[in-house]
Amino acid sequence: MRIFGLLRGHVAEVAAVCALLLVQALCELSLPRYMSDIVNVGVVGAQAGNAAYLGHMALVMLGFCVGSLVAATLSGLVASRVAASVARDLRRDVFAKVMSFSPAEVNRFSQSSLITRCTNDVQQIQNLVVILLRMVMFAPVMGVVAVVQVVGTGGGLAWIVGAALLAVLGVVSVLFSLTMPRFRVMQSLVDRVNLLAREMLDGLMTIRAFGRQDHELARFDAASGDLRDAQLFVNRAMTLMMPLMMLVMNVATVAIVWFGSHGVAAGAMRAGDMMAFISYAMMIVMSFLIVSMVAVILPRAEVSVGRVQEVLSVEPAVRDPERPVAPAADAPRGRLVFDHVGFRYPDAEGDVVSDVSFATAPGKVTAIVGSTGSGKSTLVQLAPRLYDPTSGTVTLDGVDARQMSLADLRSRVGYVPQQGFLFSGTIRSNVAFGAAAAGEKDPRPDEGLLRAIDVAQAAELVAEKDDGLDAAIAQGGTNVSGGQRQRLAIARALATHPEVLVLDDSFSALDYATDARLRQALARECADIAVLVVAQRVATVMGADQIVVLDEGRVVGKGTHEELLRTCPEYLEIAKSQLSAAELGLEEGE
Ligand SMILES: Nc1ncnc2c1ncn2[C@@H]1O[C@H](COP(=O)(O)OP(=O)(O)OP(=O)(O)O)[C@@H](O)[C@H]1O
């Protein structure tokens, strides 16, 4: 069972729990024997009414009770510690793994399922580790010793214990055959509730804007209701368990007293032995119950272990090479070359990008334009290796990107995604985010950050905040505008001093004037950086040194704005749809 594998790093603690449980079991198993002696000797035997004898026996029994209590408490503490450490390690491993996933791998599980696996499933495993350590080890010890005692004092009553065990087995089998199928679906129902909750929180504004609250609430209610039904069914079935078990035990006790009293009357058994027999019989039934319950619960936790291990066993498609290669010290910097690059999303039917070739150069701006869905974002995501090309190569400064260590590559390529994302914290923590990862040790760190913010045209935003760089940013950057978010995301990339700055439609929320100022500042301040910019607006790319026109993933034109207006009908069409003939410098009707 995979769950035992999780305990591999905790051998010493597990051994300590076993030793403590053994002490607890032996203490508890001694009590019925003393009880029997008290009845046989101190109540009806030679020492009847002897206070000294009874006091001595009571003290001994108290000693065993305290011993059992201490051992049980300590074993509980150690078991909980082990379970909590196992859970923490699993959460860390899952999280670290997910950090290495490409978007395709995240989508394979869905974000909400990854969250459930990292939290709820790990919690299930933690609970089970405690049960496993405390019950599973305790029950067999108690059961075996009790059986030995029962056989010793039996007097022909052992068959009652056998019958009680069969009854326990019957109850456990029926209850679990009813509930197991529900256990299995329960985790996927938790996934679904999380998925809907996440989707609704993300789309709250859209839901409100379209007045779809009732519809969404009904959808959530349905998923939540399915989970409630599954949980209720399981819990109802489980609440039957204890009363049924008590019934089995009480019937067994009555049967022992009934048949045992005949033995006592006939002188074949002493009253105290019968009492001890009842206690041992109950211990056997209890330990059998625990073992059979755990045997059935274990597969349930295995479902959670399986779900967690499914994440851990994914081999990310984009990973560090075994022997990373760094560009030569004298190699040209900022030369990102796409050489006959093709890309197909996993499980997609066709290529999104095919046979694309172009190169960037330091101090030059390369722009990618094309109609929506033509593959522009996909193409530039290949630069920082968010995906790897399925054909052709992407090289940076003469080295295949796949040969470079991811940290090195990503410190050289500053990538600003379409949706500039900000983390909860401050403007400073957000802008310094990438620089900190690159191990930047600027003696005057604020100056570097302020310069990046200035180039990104976000200086005004910092100036108008009372706290300046320390102004708070809410989770997801929801307390700044879309355009401010984009500018801070650009500043974050600039603060790492990249060789190549990839801007994926990062000007889309900026007004024309800010867009123009930002482009001028980039050209002025970043003379050694190669800029690769995806843009929808022709006005944004008109001044680029090279424009690559994409149509359905293929390059249909390459050149400057003027060249493309003459040679590339697709570019001309896009340009005409956005700018007047006069703005394009074309004759009317051209
Ligand atoms: N994760 C994905 N899995 C499968 N297909 C995808 C994925 N992401 C994008 N696509 C598909 O790839 C194609 C290109 O998408 P991409 O986002 O690169 O286009 P784009 O030119 O940047 O579009 P836009 O200008 O609208 O942002 C689209 O047809 C899209 O449906």
111 and 186 part of one domain: yes
Domain assignment of residue 320, yes or no: no
- Could you list the residue range(s) of the whole structural domain that residue 19 is in? 2-312
Domain assignment of residue 83, yes or no: yes
Domain assignment of residue 364, yes or no: yes
**Span from the CA of 525 to the centroid of ligand 1 (angstroms):** 32
Mutate to test the pocket of ligand 1, among 106, 110, 377, 556 (most ligand atoms within 8 A of CB): 377
Question: 108 CB under 6 A from ligand 1?
Answer: no
Q: How confident is the model at residue 445, as a pLDDT?
A: 64
Question: 377 CB under 6 A from ligand 1?
Answer: yes
341 and 305 part of one domain: no
Q: Report DSSP state, residue 479.
A: T
| 178-220 pLDDT per residue, tens | 877 777 788 778 888 988 988 888 888 889 888 888 999 999 9
Q: How many angstroms separate the CA atoms of 151 and 291, rounded?
A: 21
Q: What's the structural domain count of the chain?
A: 2
Question: 188 CB under 6 A from ligand 1?
Answer: no
Nearest residue by C-alpha to atom 4 in ligand 1: 345
CB atoms inside a 10 Å sphere around CB 155: 20
Domain end point (choices 278, 312, 346): 312
Mutate to test the pocket of ligand 1, among 106, 107, 345 (most ligand atoms within 8 A of CB): 345
Q: How far is CA 2 from CA 299, 494, 500, in A?
A: 10, 47, 46
Question: 378 CB under 6 A from ligand 1?
Answer: yes
264 and 381 part of one domain: no
298 and 343 part of one domain: no
Q: How confident is the model at residue 107, as a pLDDT?
A: 86
Question: 375 CB under 6 A from ligand 1?
Answer: yes
306 and 395 part of one domain: no
**Span from the CA of 535 to the centroid of ligand 1 (angstroms):** 14
Domain assignment of residue 489, yes or no: no
Query: Where does the pLDDT of residue 116 fall: very low under 50, low under 70, confident under 90, or very high at 90 and above?
Result: confident
Question: 348 CB under 6 A from ligand 1?
Answer: yes
Domain assignment of residue 457, yes or no: no
Q: How many angstroms separate the CA atoms of 335 and 38, rounded?
A: 92
CB atoms inside a 10 Å sphere around CB 342: 16
Question: 345 CB under 6 A from ligand 1?
Answer: yes
Question: 506 CB under 6 A from ligand 1?
Answer: no
Domain assignment of residue 463, yes or no: no
211 and 341 part of one domain: no
**Span from the CA of 378 to the centroid of ligand 1 (angstroms):** 6
Q: How many angstroms separate the CA atoms of 245 and 253, rounded?
A: 12
Contact criterion met (CB below 8 Å) for 427 and 473: yes
Nearest residue by C-alpha to atom 23 in ligand 1: 373
94 and 128 part of one domain: yes
Domain end point (choices 243, 277, 312): 312
**Span from the CA of 375 to the centroid of ligand 1 (angstroms):** 6
**For 122, phi and psi rounded to 5 degrees?**
-65, -35
18 and 78 part of one domain: yes
Tell me if residue 358 falls in helix, strand or coil: strand
Mutate to test the pocket of ligand 1, among 341, 352, 376, 415 (most ligand atoms within 8 A of CB): 352
Tokens of 55: 């006091």
**Span from the CA of 418 to the centroid of ligand 1 (angstroms):** 12
Domain assignment of residue 261, yes or no: yes
Question: 376 CB under 6 A from ligand 1?
Answer: yes
Q: For 75-95, what is the mean pLDDT?
A: 93
ipTM over 0.90: yes
Q: How confident is the model at residue 443, as a pLDDT?
A: 46
Q: What is the CATH number of the domain that holds 156?
A: 1.20.1560.10
Backbone Cα Rg of the chain:
36
382 and 517 part of one domain: yes
Question: 254 CB under 6 A from ligand 1?
Answer: no
Query: Where does the pLDDT of residue 229 fall: very low under 50, low under 70, confident under 90, or very high at 90 and above?
Result: very high
Q: What is the pTM of this model?
A: 0.76
Residue that is written with structure tokens 């379409």 in the block: 418
Question: 346 CB under 6 A from ligand 1?
Answer: no
91 and 13 part of one domain: yes
Nearest residue by C-alpha to atom 24 in ligand 1: 372
Share of the chain above pLDDT 70, in %: 95
Contact criterion met (CB below 8 Å) for 71 and 23: yes
> Is 422 buried (19+), middle (13-18) or exposed (0-12) by CB count in 10 A?
buried
Q: What is the CATH number of the domain that holds 560?
A: 3.40.50.300
More confident residue, 543 or 588: 543
Query: Where does the pLDDT of residue 526 fall: very low under 50, low under 70, confident under 90, or very high at 90 and above?
Result: confident
523 and 394 part of one domain: yes
Domain assignment of residue 455, yes or no: no
| 453-500 pLDDT per residue, tens | 988 888 888 888 888 888 888 887 788 888 888 889 999 998 888 999
Q: For 106-118, what is the mean pLDDT?
A: 87
Q: Does position 292 have pLDDT exceeding 90, yes or no?
A: no
Q: Does position 344 have pLDDT exceeding 90, yes or no?
A: yes
Atom of ligand 1 nearest to the CA of 348: 4
Q: Report DSSP state, residue 545.
A: S
Atom of ligand 1 nearest to the CA of 375: 18
361 and 308 part of one domain: no
More confident residue, 3 or 327: 327
Question: 373 CB under 6 A from ligand 1?
Answer: yes
Q: How confident is the model at residue 437, as a pLDDT?
A: 58
More confident residue, 24 or 434: 24
Question: 374 CB under 6 A from ligand 1?
Answer: yes
